[in-house]
Amino acid sequence: MIISPLESAFLRACRREQTAYTPVWLMRQAGRYMKEYRDIRAKMSFLDLCKNPELCADVAVTAQQRIGADAAILFSDLLLILEPMGFKLDYTEGRGPVITGRIASREDVARIPEIDPVDSLHFVFEAVRRTRGGLKPGMPLIGFSGAPFTLAAYILEGGSSRVFEKTKKFMREEPLVWHALMEKIGRAVIAYLKGQILAGVDAVQLFDSWVGCLSGDEYRQYVLPHTRKVIEGIRKGVPVVHFGTGTGNFLKEFRMAGGDVCGVDHQLPLDRAWEMIGYDAAIQGNLAPEVLLGPVTEIRKEVKRILDLAARRPGHIFNLGHGVLPATPVENVITLVDLVHEMSVSMRTP
């Protein structure tokens, strides 16, 4: 018998089909909360790890198997695509990523090369192939990229930010340059995700992690057309998860960008978020990451609350509202996955 990821609970839920239980995976399921990951990181820098396909595959497969998640996610980082685009990338302990390379004019945008990721990011595609090879048959593998806005914001801010004042000022002062930059990033993202799909991922997630700093109007004007183009550019039967945080005020606009699954953070109750998104899309979320710090009685309560709000409607993928926090005990993550499976099965039995 050939076991295909297509029949997995995760991909069935992406297509809003009935599943025997609610599938669950966690953003940053491979990361510092896990001892196996810290042991590898003790020996090399984060960037060196990201460029080592064998170890990336090991980290992704180990995380999926250790916690029993219903999907693996490629181990890489959102910002790697910026290197072949001509930006310098550093991950400094405690400060987060630092991106160097100024963008102020149309000429600066024109100088950013059109990238051929199959060449310049070959280690990512090799990591996809090796991860696929290390997973049990039938286990779905999720590829990912940053969405144009979040990548543009990293470029313009030079790193992480709270208020994104440089990005917002730039959008307003130089709208033509802004749109040119977003288009250029969008083309790179399409090529990058197509490459991951060719290499063997079963679904892709577009992270627009910082888009919640915008209003609905700003989203519609400065971001929506570009994200929509990316999603239209990659969609050929491979489900797209479109994720953002802080999108509660403009989920309708966010949804207009398209995709099969809408990823939401923990600010809105799941039922309200799904109502705003519309039931023609699946939903992914939305446990607050802090809940996983404990105690287990609270985790159980929150899982029940979220499953109740999903109300057995097909198309719910359980996840956090954002990534696993480094201080999270791994046992709590394992318990969470077990609880989602057990409780959702029992809710389906009449």
Q: Which residues bind ligand CP3 (CB under 6 A)?
A: 27-32, 41, 46, 73, 75, 77-79, 91, 96-97, 144, 160, 207, 209, 322-323
**Which is the catalytic residue, given 154, 192, 219, 222?**
154
Dist CA 285 CA 319 (whole Å): 4
Q: Kindly give, in sequence order, each residue whose CB lies less than 8 Å from that of residue 172, ignoring residues fewer than 6 positions away.
A: none
Nearer to ligand CP3, 39 or 107 (CB): 39
**Which is the catalytic residue, given 77, 108, 271, 338?**
77
Closest CA to 79 of 30, 122, 121: 121
Nearer to ligand CP3, 189 or 343 (CB): 189
130 is catalytic: no
Q: Contact 231/258 with Cβ under 8 angstroms?
A: yes
271 is catalytic: no
Dist CA 282 CA 11 (whole Å): 11
In whole angstroms, how close is the CB of 281 to ligand CP3 at the nearest point?
20
Nearer to ligand CP3, 210 or 274 (CB): 210
The residue number whose beta carbon is nearest to ligand CP3 equals: 209
**Which is the catalytic residue, given 12, 28, 66, 132?**
28
Q: Contact 294/332 with Cβ under 8 angstroms?
A: yes
In whole angstroms, how close is the CB of 213 to ligand CP3 at the nearest point?
13
Helix (H) or strand (E) holding 241: strand 240-244
**Which is the catalytic residue, given 32, 187, 235, 300?**
32
| 113, two tokens | 């090369």
41 is catalytic: yes
Which runs of E-coded beta strand occur in 96-231? 96-100, 141-146, 203-208
Dist CA 116 CA 131 (whole Å): 22
Q: Strands 88-92 and 96-100, how do they pair?
A: antiparallel
28 is catalytic: yes
In whole angstroms, how close is the CB of 269 to ligand CP3 at the nearest point?
21
In whole angstroms, how close is the CB of 176 to ligand CP3 at the nearest point?
27
Nearer to ligand CP3, 30 or 306 (CB): 30
Residues annotated as catalytic are 28, 32, 41, 77, 154
